[in-house]
Amino acid sequence: MSNTVIVGAQWGDEGKGKIVDYLTDQTEIVVRAQGGNNAGHTVISEGVTYILHLIPSGILWPSKTCVIGNGVVIDPVSLLEEIDTLAEQGITVEASRLLISNRAHLVLPSHRAIDALKEARRGDQKIGTTNRGIGPAYSDKIDRSGMRLHELFDENFSARLKENLEQCNLLLSEAGIENIDVEGSVTAYAKAAERLRPFVCDTIGFLHQALADNRSMLFEGAQGTYLDVDFGTYPYVTSSNTTSGGACTGSGVPPQRIDKVVGVIKAYTTRVGEGPFPTEDDGFGDVMHGMGREFGATTGRERRCGWLDLVLLRYATYVNGIDELAMTNLDGLDGLDEIPVCTHYELDGEKLDLPPASAADLERATPIYDTLPGWKSPIDEVRKLADLPEKARDYLAYVTKMTGVPITSVGVGPDRTQTLVD
């Protein structure tokens, strides 16, 4: 298999974990290149649900190698919790199978505290972050004041962490917020450093050797295009480049070695957190939540729900260079008489086919819909694309026609077996 980048083409939670898991069979190395444990990727196999946050979903395949690249921000304590949870589920994560970049940045307890503090101060302008310290960790990286994984093993690491946490506690005290337990955190990070030591290496050397040996790679994107710090609904975004370019800068694999970009979309749209969402439909959301669907994998929050938005999808195909679409959750539309799909926006009397730069303008934009007929029958047991109801196939054909991009896989349920490709 070629080297493939998997990106979310909406606001995250498109089902990237499930698609990566499906494609891992045909690949050798699975790489995460951006984001942190704000991600929550669900894979369901043989009745067992696995939720991956920092570790690439490929870890569920014992013969595959996984890499956490330089562009990821890592909370070492929560990474070890994830490793332990996987062990309880029968998945052993050995250092021979998980390589962590020594250039990746650390998420510190101070980053988590500042994330919470800034959100509280934003009031009704809050972003609705996952509170994992992601924004402050990337801020320090760009500010050139962050700490990287290799520094965990420096003699003075504990002293530097202590100093960092004490400084943060001054800020927290001023704000009347509970202080960080400095001694407890320093001990936890020192312990984590010892456990993680065998995993941490120069992943760039490893990946380039793998390229030279023609070993195939899958890049598992986290978040989605509209959470990208450049292309998303700024400022209601995350703090990394979630689009396909992030796979290169976050791994050290150059662009000409990427063969294909697959954009993952839901058959509708969801968003967790604050920010504009033109096709949001609370009634549709209530139906989905009533069915027990669309609760966040990381925070458990209800996801906001709405219709497929081709304006966003069009722009996502541009900025990611999407070659193929993987559509998940088609079964989520099973019960509907009619399915609205947004083709354009209207804003101040103008018809737009690309999203405006300003979040405030996007908030004001009115979606213009086409309406497609529903198929009104369950499809979760269908195993071949040709066996989907005709109106479901029409829905897929319509999306392909409107985006100019083929849909090469369709999800009819969360299980590994519920991905249709032919």
What amino acid occupies position 57? S
Among all chains, which residue has been given the structure tokens 């956490």? Answer: 68
Instruction: Report the 3 state secondary structure along 240-280.
Output: CCCCCHHHHHCCCCCHHHCCEEEEEEECCEEECCCCCCCCE
In angstroms, rounded to a whole number, what is the distance separating the alpha carbons of residues 48 and 135?
32
Stretch that binds ligand GDP, among 12-20, 150-158, 186-194, 391-399 (CB under 6 A): 12-20
> Beta-strand (E) ranges in 64-205?
65-68, 73-74, 98-101, 105-106, 200-201
Residue 68 binding ligand IMO, by CB under 6 A: no
**Judged by CB, which is closer to ligand GDP: 75, or 140?**
75
Relative to beta strand 269-271, strand 304-306 is antiparallel
Contact between 40 and Mg ion by CB under 5 A: the answer reads yes
Token pair of 276 as six digits = 């504009």
Binding mask 278-297 for ligand GDP (x = CB under 6 A): -------------------x
Number of Cα atoms under 13 Å in the Cβ half of residue 318:
11
Residue numbers 299-358 binding ligand GDP by CB under 6 A? 328-329, 331
Instruction: List, by residue number, the catalytic residues.
Output: 13, 41
Smallest distance from the beta carbon of 332 to ligand IMO, in angstroms? 16
* 339 and 333 Cβ atoms separated by less than 8 Å: yes
Determine, following the binding rule CB under 5 A, whether residue 272 of this chain makes contact with Mg ion.
Answer: no
Per-residue binding letters, 268-307, with ligand IMO (x by CB under 6 A): ----xx-----------------------x----------
**Identity of the residue, 8 or 367, whose beta carbon is nearer to ligand IMO in the bound complex:** 8
Site string for ligand IMO, 230-249 (x = CB under 6 A): --------xx----------
CA distance from start to end of the chain: 18
Q: Alpha-carbon distance 227 to 239, whole Å?
A: 8
Among 56, 58, 135, 263, binds ligand IMO (CB under 6 A): 135
Q: Which of 8, 35, 263, 285 binds ligand GDP (CB under 6 A)?
A: 8
Which of the choices ligand IMO, ligand GDP, Mg ion, none does residue 328 contact, using the CB cut-off of 5 to 8 A by kind?
ligand GDP
How are beta strands 98-101 and 366-373 bridged, if at all? unpaired
Pick left, alpha or beta for residue 311 (phi over 0 → left; psi -120 to 50 → alpha; otherwise beta): alpha
Q: Which amino acid makes up residue 107?
A: V
- The least CB distance from residue 197 to ligand IMO, in Å, is 27
- Interface with Mg ion, residue 13, by CB under 5 A: yes
Taking the least distance from each CB to ligand IMO, the nearer of 227 and 399 is 227
| Smallest gap from residue 238 Cβ to Mg ion (A) | 12
Question: Rule CB under 6 A: is residue 413 a binding residue for ligand IMO?
Answer: no
Does 227 contact ligand IMO by CB under 6 A?
A: yes
Among 15, 32, 40, 218, binds ligand IMO (CB under 6 A): 40
Binding ligand GDP (rule: CB under 6 A), the pick from 1, 42, 122, 321 is 42
- For residue 155, give every residue at least 6 positions away whose Cβ sits within 8 Å of its Cβ, in sequence order, or none: none
- Nearest by Cα to 3 from 212, 300, 265: 212
Contact 273, 13 (CB under 8 A): no
- 28 touches 265 (CB < 8 A): no
Residue nearest to ligand GDP according to CB distances in the complex: 411
Query: Residue 3 and residue 262: Cα distance in Å, rounded?
Result: 11
16 binds ligand GDP, rule: CB under 6 A: yes
Residues that contact ligand IMO, how many (by CB under 6 A): 24
Contact set with ligand GDP (CB under 6 A):
8, 12-18, 40-42, 44, 297, 328-329, 331, 411-414, 418
- The residues that touch ligand IMO, with contacts defined as CB under 6 A, are 8, 11-13, 38-41, 127-130, 132, 134-135, 222-224, 227, 238-239, 272-273, 297
